[in-house]
């Protein structure tokens, strides 16, 4: 079985983003970028399935400008066998649907048995691409997954849902999106990086894939959130209680 893993280049999760003073967007100049944490978990899950003999090839794919090759290298260093860069312009007006349309075309070419994505990007926080991709392809979906097991008829996934946990059996091919507790991604060592340099990154684009991807909702403005009014330090449990009673919350 072949596994396709779409990954996204995003701001490093430790960085606190700032809004540009003209409110046009957030300021990403000179900000540390990384592979989206959920995508990293997806790569790890795919590589483990191959190591366990449940899959024979792991293909990482990213949509975006040239810089996404850095994150594709990370995926290759983690153990992906090859990568595909779907090039789009720096200022391409893509939304989750557009990304899903490009990925759907790629899935039709590559015919993977499983597509493993992150459940959400930590920048856009959309939580949409996997579900959209599954819809476009007519594949079953297992979202927010914290456990998975390949079984005879397909794959069983444990989903983290509001009420607790849910187990679904999906027929293959299927789309799965990862939650945090699926695994802890491996640490990349220097030899892995060396080896990854010899692995191929293929190049394609919307035109070659025969897709004119949909634009996303228009971004009109970005504002910082309402700041919270400054609080105070209390010296004792007694003072805390007094304050809470004054504030009439207990």
Contacts with ligand FAD, residue ranges (CB under 6 A): 6-8, 13, 36-39, 61-65, 88, 92-96, 99, 117-118, 120-122, 124, 126-130, 180, 216, 219
Considering only residues 53, 163, 191, 210, which one is a binding residue for other proteins as defined by CB under 8 A? 163
Q: Check: CB of residue 101 under 8 Å from CB of residue 163.
A: no
Torsion of Cα atoms, 242 then 244 then 247 then 250, to 10°: -120
Q: How far is the CB of 33 from ligand FAD (least distance, A)?
A: 12
* Residue choice 64, 112, 140, 213 for contact with other proteins (CB under 8 A): 140
Considering only 83, 113, 160, 185, the residue that binds other proteins (CB under 8 A) is: 160
CA distance 110 to 86: 13
Rule CB under 8 A: choose which of 53, 191, 210, 225 binds other proteins: 225
β-bridge pairing 174-178 and 114-118: parallel
Q: Which is nearer to other proteins, 79 or 140 (CB)?
A: 140
CA 94 to chain centre: 16
Q: Does 171 bind other proteins (CB under 8 A)?
A: yes
Min separation Cβ 61 and other proteins, Å: 18
Kind plus residue range of the DSSP H or E element containing 145: strand 141-151
Query: Of the two residues 169 and 214, which places its CB atom closer to ligand FAD in the complex?
Result: 214
Alpha-carbon gap, residue 218 to 189, rounded angstroms: 41
């Amino acid at each position: 079985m072949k596994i396709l893993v779409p990954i996204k280049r995003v701001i490093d999760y430790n960085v606190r983003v700032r809004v540009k003073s003209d409110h046009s967007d957030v300021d990403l100049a000179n900000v540390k970028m990384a592979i989206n944490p959920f995508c990293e978990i997806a790569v790890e899950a795919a590589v483990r399935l191959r190591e366990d003999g449940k899959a024979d090839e792991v293909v990482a794919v990213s949509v975006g400008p040239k810089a996404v090759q850095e994150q594709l290298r990370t995926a290759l260093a983690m153990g992906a066998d090859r990568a595909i860069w779907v090039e789009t312009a720096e200022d391409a007006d893509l939304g989750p649907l557009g990304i899903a349309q490009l990925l759907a075309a790629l899935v039709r070419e590559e015919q993977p048995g499983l597509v493993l994505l992150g459940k959400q990007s930590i920048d856009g926080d959309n939580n949409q691409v996997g579900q959209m991709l599954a819809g476009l392809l007519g594949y079953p979906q297992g979202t927010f997954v914290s456990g998975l097991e390949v079984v005879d008829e397909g794959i069983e996934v444990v989903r983290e849902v509001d009420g607790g946990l849910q187990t679904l059996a999906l027929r293959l091919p299927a789309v799965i999106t990862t939650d945090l507790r699926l695994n802890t991604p491996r640490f990349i060592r220097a030899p892995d990086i060396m080896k990854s340099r010899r692995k191929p990154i293929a190049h394609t684009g919307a035109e070659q894939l025969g897709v004119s991807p949909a634009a996303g909702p228009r971004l009109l403005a970005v504002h910082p959130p309402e700041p919270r009014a400054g609080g105070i330090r209390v010296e004792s449990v007694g003072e805390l209680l007094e304050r809470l009673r004054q504030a009439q919350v207990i």
